[in-house]
Amino acid sequence: MTTFMTTVDSPVGPLLLTSDGTALTRLLFAAEPDPSWSTDDCPVLARAEQQLAEYFRGERTDFDLPVDPAGTPFQVSVWLALRDIPYAATINYGQLATKVGNPRASRAVGLANGRNPISIVVPCHRVIGADGSLTGYGGGLDRKRTLLDLERGVAGTADSDPQLSLL
């Protein structure tokens, strides 16, 4: 199976996107592409690039892309639940664990969140600590803050608490 790839410049640095031709499979920060990946045109990647540009311009609050993240069934359930967090809102790890049906699994949810292979589109940046603090993010806390600030600005909640409101 062919893996298609492209890189996209963004306000949070270069993004590496991959697709299997039918769905977005990765969106990573400053990652190195595999030399075997194809740079041929891929409609899924073109659509993802367009939607990311709209997101960063503040014109898109929801992604309409097929995604296929590779992971364990538990990880995939966490990643799917992330897509239900509304734009500019936040949720903590315990709340996310409850959403996936395992309220005692906040640490496991945190680990799955940290392994999300499709950042931004699968909005793991919207998960914060139980005390409202910004906690670990694979792309770094500066990127997490930038993404949350962008969303708050677009949603008109930029004057709210810097930690954002929980769902």
Catalytic residues: 124
3 Cβ partners below 8 Å, 6+ apart? 18, 19, 20, 25, 34, 36, 37, 38
Contact call for residues 106 and 97 (beta carbons, < 8 A): yes
- What residues contact 17, with CB distance under 8 A and at least 6 apart? 5, 6, 7, 8, 24, 26, 27, 45, 48, 49
| Cα separation values, 52 from 25, 42, 57, 140, Å | 15, 15, 9, 19
CA atoms within 13 A on the CB side of 120: 34
- Please give the C-alpha separations between residue 57 and each of 52, 63, 101, 143, in angstroms, as whole numbers: 9, 14, 35, 16
| Number of CB atoms found within 10 A of residue 100's CB | 18
